[in-house]
């Protein structure tokens, strides 16, 4: 069964991209002299990823990604981290309509999502503390506001059409103002999508991060993606969860709480229960 790549079925051009995928994979296999295996299932949302073997017998991974806006600098990010907490990038290339990455393979490659939550928190915070850094001179990475600004506008457009879960309009506009203002602060290189599904068991290190979507901004943003996956804890005690992540990651607790509040409102069209979490986190 091929991976579903669900993020692509509704994208304009997504179907065409999927039709071209076998030829793209074949061309890359030739170019990088790879024997390519069956893709990982269920696979990513917008990337086809498969184990492969190099001519020298190296166990690697081939990732062919839909070139989506937020992942624009995955190659440059992996180059900057150069394997120190992330997988190594062995080769990377922007093709017409795709991004191709040849990566160190994580073995056995199970995700951090399989371990207890408390350990997930510690591993995520530990990796982030190592990975945050000043971006190198002349870097291409965009400010976080270029991701959060459009997300705020998209939420507002949905709200104007009545397509968001009910929330006090004052709170919603406070959350969107925070999305915009908080994302102007900070100068750290961020991963922005570090959650348990993007951390894999490896041999070179116990855990390695994959799939970064690098931006420059406030480190407090970077613990939120993990928290958004912790539904039970968000329902029970979101303030406690934010405080724990702030302490583990050495961050300002107030900023983590504000980011979590803002993201809960912004994400509520996808996960309506988050509107209730946002109410519990509303700044007073």
Ligand X SMILES: Nc1ncnc2c1ncn2[C@@H]1O[C@H](COP(=O)(O)OP(=O)(O)O)[C@@H](O)[C@H]1O
Among 21, 46, 218, 249, binds ligand X (CB under 6 A): 46
CB 283 within 8 A of CB 239: no
Look at the alpha carbons of 277, 278, 283, 284 in this order and tell me if their dihedral is positive or negative.
negative
Interaxial angle between packed helices 273-281 and 169-182, expressed in degrees from 0 to 180 and rounded to the nearest 10: 80
Question: Does residue 36 come out as left (phi exceeding 0), alpha (psi in the -120 to 50 range) or beta?
Answer: beta
225 lies in the binding site for Mg ion (CB under 5 A): no
Among 253, 275, 252, 272, residue whose Cα is nearest residue 262: 275
Active site residue 252: no
SS3 171: helix
Two structure tokens written together for 18: 């999927």
Q: Name which position in 74, 211, 222, 267 contacts Mg ion (CB under 5 A).
A: 211
Q: Is 43 in the site for ligand X (CB under 6 A)?
A: yes
Window of 10-18, 100-108, 226-234, 275-283 that interacts with ligand X by CB under 6 A: 100-108
> Distance (Å, rounded) from C-alpha 69 to C-alpha 71?
6
Position among 121, 211, 218, 222 found at the interface with ligand X (CB under 6 A): 211
Residue 42 vs 136, nearer CB to Mg ion: 42
Which is closer to ligand X, CB of 65 or CB of 258? 65
Nearest-approach distance from CB 204 to ligand X, in angstroms: 11
Q: Does 106 bind ligand X (CB under 6 A)?
A: yes
User: Is 145 a residue that touches ligand X (CB under 6 A)?
Assistant: no
Question: Which residues make up the interface to ligand X (CB under 6 A)?
Answer: 40, 43-47, 49, 61, 63, 87, 103-106, 109, 197-198, 200, 210-211
Question: Which residues make up the interface to Mg ion (CB under 5 A)?
Answer: 44, 198, 211
């Amino acid at each position: 069964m091929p991976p579903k790549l669900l993020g692509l079925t509704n994208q304009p051009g997504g179907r065409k991209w999927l039709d071209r995928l076998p030829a793209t994979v074949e061309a890359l296999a030739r170019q990088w002299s790879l024997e390519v295996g069956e893709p990982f299932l269920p696979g990513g949302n917008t990337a086809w990823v498969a184990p492969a073997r190099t001519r020298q017998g190296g166990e690697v991974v081939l990732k062919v990604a839909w070139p989506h806006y937020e992942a624009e600098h995955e190659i440059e990010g992996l180059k900057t981290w150069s394997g120190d907490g992330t997988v190594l990038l062995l080769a990377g290339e922007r093709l017409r309509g795709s991004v191709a990455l040849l990566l160190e393979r994580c073995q056995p490659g199970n995700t951090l999502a399989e371990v207890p939550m408390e350990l997930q928190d510690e591993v995520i915070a530990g990796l982030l503390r190592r990975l945050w850094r000043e971006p190198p001179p002349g870097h291409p990475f965009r400010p976080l506001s270029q991701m959060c600004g459009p997300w705020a506008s998209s939420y507002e457009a949905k709200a104007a059409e009545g397509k968001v879960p009910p929330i006090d309009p004052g709170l919603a506009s406070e959350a969107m103002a925070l999305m915009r203002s908080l994302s102007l602060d900070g100068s750290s290189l961020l991963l922005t999508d570090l959650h348990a599904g993007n951390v894999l068991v490896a041999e070179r290190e116990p855990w390695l991060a994959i799939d970064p979507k690098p931006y420059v901004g406030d480190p407090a943003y970077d613990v939120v993606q993990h928290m958004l996956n912790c539904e039970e804890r968000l329902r029970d005690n979101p303030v406690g969860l934010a405080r724990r992540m702030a302490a583990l990651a050495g961050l300002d607790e107030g900023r983590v709480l504000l980011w979590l509040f803002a993201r809960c409102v912004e994400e509520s069209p996808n996960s309506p229960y988050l509107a209730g979490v946002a109410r519990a986190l509303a700044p007073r």
